[in-house]
Amino acid sequence: MESDSNFTSVLPGSRYAGVYVPSQVDYVVEAVANSGPWTILFTLLAILVAYDQVMYIVRKGSIICCDRLDSRYVTQDIQFPGFVKPCVVDVAHKLLGADNWVFLDGRPHVDFRKGLNGLFTRKALESYLPGQEEVYQAYFKKFVQITKENGGQPVPFMPEFRELMCAVSCRTFVGHYISDEAVKKIADDYYLITAALELVNFPIIIPYTKTWYGKKAADMVLKEFSICAAKSKVRMAAGGDVTCIMDAWIKSMLESKRWREAQEQGLPVEGMEKPSPLLRWFNDYEISQTVFTFLFASQDATSSAATWLFQIMAQRPDVLDRVREENLRVREGNIHTEIDMDQLESLKYTRAVVRELLRYRPPVLMVPYVAKKAFPITDTYTVPKGAMIIPSTYLSLRDPEVYEDPDVFNPDRYYSGDAELKGAKNYLVFGTGPHYCIGQTYAQLNLALFVGKASILLDWKHYPTPKSEEIKVFATIFPQVG
């Protein structure tokens, strides 16, 4: 290449002007110096994306997808916190907050979870029932009105189930501290949060992308729940009754605070019951952040289950008739009677229907974990440290060695059969190990209340399409046409 005698270096006045600089470097420096701001911005963005992809490849290590047989071995090992921890997409940290309790591991996670266990006891769950009944009553009336307004013609109901499940979750989690308008806004925008949780995303949130819209929706929920927390603190301090999860948690905080203050001031505590565990005082945002994780875990999963329940009940009138008969009997023939926890728990067949539905159409098909250290899952294979392990809930729940006719929806396998015992290690619907779903009992009782109440207040028919039985995966599974 011939030299250009007319070329003037861009570095003539620099401190090291006497140092020889290759002409190729000079060209690069000149190009950068003459670049516009947009060129520089897009170049930096490209570098960030490339760096993110390289680091993803470096960090991900091996990916191990388990079939039904491998899942048996893996399930035994993920019971122990020393082996694995849950693995989530990076954007989840941005939506929920990097300091959120669900991302804790080991002892910090165990200690935080102890403070939440009391929110899902039998006594606590019973206190939430009236709010759930109220929501179902209102929305079932709305369902009938929607059908009337459509002239009795078929209506896609999956969007309605998403709104209903968001409403019942909000009523259970934050009570009447949130307005109906805010619930509708959360239900409408929650789709954006789900859409943001794609496996591959930019390392930063860029305006007008899925992650940007998802972050805005998540921030809106956090703001609404923070306002609810402030209201609940005032009401609980005044001695109000517990009507939602937020009330129950804040009441426990107040009791812990009073106990500590009495001890610090040397006051007698004989007449006081020491709270266990003793909770610290959480600010409004911390409460909002934690309660948001309950919505995050439940919204898509319960919407999926509700949609499949209605579709399958319509396809199986024999099952629906038995559910209706059982619920009428418990309510002594009065379709408007609200039930208590004893009556809800007595709905053995209805609960078997829910249990079988979650086996037959598990909302979440797989739950990824990352290996914290190497450990063997068979005699011939050891999972390396850093590997992603993906046990398949779907395959585990259709293991023909455990479930007879696994591709058939049959609630009797839980009502009068031995599926509960034989499938104990296969039932991965709510995860396993120290990070198993804290609200699994609530979720199943809530679905039993939902389908039981619907059976006595509504009649419905499913109009199948060629895609009705095809599965659409959008975080959880839904019928292609619902």
C-beta separation of 91 from 210 below 8 A: no
pLDDT, position 34: 64
Q: What is the pLDDT of residue 72?
A: 53
- Identify the pLDDT of residue 11: 44
Look at residue 199 in the predicted model and tell me its pLDDT. Answer: 66
C-alpha to C-alpha distance for 282 and 403, rounded to whole angstroms: 45
pLDDT at 460: 94
Whole-number pLDDT of residue 225: 98
Domains by residue range for the chain, with CATH:
1-31 (no CATH), 69-479 (1.10.630.10)
Which CA distances in Å does 298 have to 169, 201, 289, 405? 8, 23, 15, 29
Query: Looking at beta carbons, which pairs linking 342-345 to residues 24 or more positions away fall under 8 Å?
Result: 344/129, 344/445, 344/448, 344/449, 345/445
Q: What is the pLDDT of residue 337?
A: 94
What pLDDT was estimated at residue 28? 52
- Bind-site residues for heme: 437
pLDDT of residue 1: 46
Segment-wise mean pLDDT, segments of 10 residues, the chain, 482 residues: 46 49 55 66 68 53 52 52 76 88 88 95 96 96 95 90 96 96 95 84 82 95 98 97 96 95 87 90 96 94 95 96 98 95 98 98 86 83 84 89 96 96 91 86 98 97 86 83 60
Q: What is the pLDDT of residue 78?
A: 53
What pLDDT does residue 472 have? Answer: 86
pLDDT at position 81, please?
59
DSSP letter, residue 101: G
Per the CB < 8 A criterion, the answer to whether 433 and 80 are in contact is yes
Secondary structure (3-state) at 270: coil
Binding-site residue numbers are 437
